[in-house]
Structure 1
Amino acid sequence: MEDLISYLLQFGHLNQQQIDLIKAKASERNLPKGSYFSEAGKIAKHIGFVTEGVLMICYYNNKGEEIVHHFVDENHFVVDLESFNHGIPSMIYIQAVTDCKLITLSQENFQELSKTIIDWDKIISKVTIKTLLDKVNVVQPKLNTDAKTRYLDFLKNSPNLANRVPLVYIASYLGITATSLSRIRKNIRQFQKGK
């Protein structure tokens, strides 16, 4: 619970009474590897804060292929915001890549915090903006680069994910096949040995 409070305090002030209310409304949840936090076609009813583990946000394209959009690890919120805020069926899946521990807030409790804590909406707005900017900074370099550069950027920007996420998911995220990624990794290792 302290991880969540520390994170929120980076974005605004909360007094002890407000902190106690957040703790009372939040609950801890274990999500085993392979389990879904939320599913496409269903309305997102919870927002999660990751305290341990990695989740992936994915969807199926029109060919029925699973596409990894991005990963979420420790000290980040995870939710389909559009589904959560507007009560519409989700277009994405949020799945645990590793065993995960989350602190969750139901939509009802989240709304209650919004009504009770004066600066709650300001804090959440700042969190949302930071999350979107982080995502843009990760996605933008992928747009006009070759596969090797995308992989090297991934290693640079997300070094803590490289050894925790199966190659097949990293390949999907990078928009290449697992075979291509294996070849790129092999070439990089050979290049590093030859230095």
Structure 2
Amino acid sequence: MTDITPPLQHFVSTLMQDYAQEHIQPAVDFLQPLVHQQVLAEKEHLIEAGNIADEMYFIVQGIFRVYYLDHNGNEINQQFYLDGESISHVLSVKGEVPCSFYLQALTESTVLVANSQVLYQQGKNNVAWLNVENAIFRELFIKTARREAKMLLGNAEQRYRWFLKESPELAEKLPLYQIASYLGVTPVSLSRLRKKLNQSSASDD
């Protein structure tokens, strides 16, 4: 049986980096019997649209994307997720509403998986879990609010500059078409914009 303690400690420590150690270990102890480890190949899906997704995923290693299909069947990236982040579909958990999005591993990845209802029932009075849950929702709120503000208020160049600043690891590792979908531009437009910024940077040097 795979020992999940090291990846679980890694995940909780990454998520709760602003918390003291005395808060981290109780959270690890609470989660350990409730999670199991799953390894995914590149491009493998954890969730597909239409699924009832009643599990919460804690990312130990890898890059994931949440995407939708528009009415023409085009894939639209809504968000990317990295180590120390978690993903679940609240509507599926509470009301058995099918997911409208897809969750896909963009690299070989490792996640810890827990049933969301079990987490809720066993953790609603557990301070250790409530600290983890608070950290999860805080990071999710900040991440979503930042993206929405930039997408609504910025032009293509401003959105790309913001992405480079906020997500340098993703900018380096992801193919251009994935970033273009996330920023709401075509791959051709983003390629031109990247060339323009590279030329501007070179001239500044």
Amino acid at match of 2:37: E
How far is 1:183 from its partner?
A: 0.8
Task: Return the match for 1:4 from 6, 11, 36.
Answer: 11
Q: 1:106 to 1:55 in 2, by over 3 A?
A: same
TM-score by length of 1: 0.88
Q: Is the 2:79–2:182 contact (alpha carbons within 8 Å) kept by the matching residues of 1?
A: yes
Letter in 2 for 1:105: A
1:27 to 27, 36, 39: 36
TM-score (norm 2): 0.84
SS for the counterpart of 1:20 is helix
The CA deviation string for residues 104-124 of structure 1, in whole angstroms up to 9 with x for no partner, is: 112343234325625534641
Counterpart for residue 158 of structure 1? 167
Deviations, residues 69-102 of structure 1 (Å, cap 9, x unaligned) = 0100111111222223332100110111111111
> Any idea what SS the aligned residue of 1:3 has?
helix
1:105 aligned onto 2:114: yes
Q: In structure 1, what residue type is equivalent to 2:173?
A: R
Q: Which runs of 5+ in 2 are unaligned?
A: 1-7
Q: Who is 2:196 aligned against?
A: 187
What amino acid does structure 2 have at the position aligned with 1:2? Q
* Pick aligned residue for 1:87 from 91, 96, 101: 96
How large is the RMSD of aligned CA atoms in angstroms? Answer: 2.3
What is the CA–CA distance in structure 1 between the aligned matches of 2:10 and 2:103, rounded to whole Å?
A: 21
Tell me, yes or no, if the aligned pair for 1:138 and 1:157 is still in contact at 8 Å.
no
Counterpart of 2:140 in structure 1: which amino acid? T
C-alpha separation in 1, matches of 2:34 and 2:23: 15
Cα displacement (A) at 1:16: 5.9
Do the aligned residues in 2 keep the contact of 1:98 with 1:164 (CA within 8 Å)? no
Further displaced range: 17-26 or 43-52: 17-26
Change (3 A) 1:60 1:116: same
Q: Amino acid of the residue matched to residue 72 of structure 1?
A: Y
Matches of 1:86 and 1:124, distance apart in 2 = 20
Which residue is 2:176 aligned to?
167
| Distance (whole Å) between structure 2 residues aligned to residue 65 and residue 157 of structure 1 | 26
Cα deviations by residue, 1:15-38 (Å, 9 ceiling, x for unpaired)? 866633411111111111111111
Change (3 A) 1:9 1:161: closer
Q: Percent identity, aligned pairs only?
A: 26
Q: Which residue of 1 aligns with 2:129?
A: 120
- 2:12 is aligned with what amino acid? I
In 2, distance between residues paired with 1:75 and 1:144?
28
Counterparts of 1:23-102 in structure 2, within 5 Å, are 23-102=32-111
- What code does the residue aligned with 2:42 have? K
SS at match of 2:78: strand
Specify which structure has the higher proportion of helix. 2
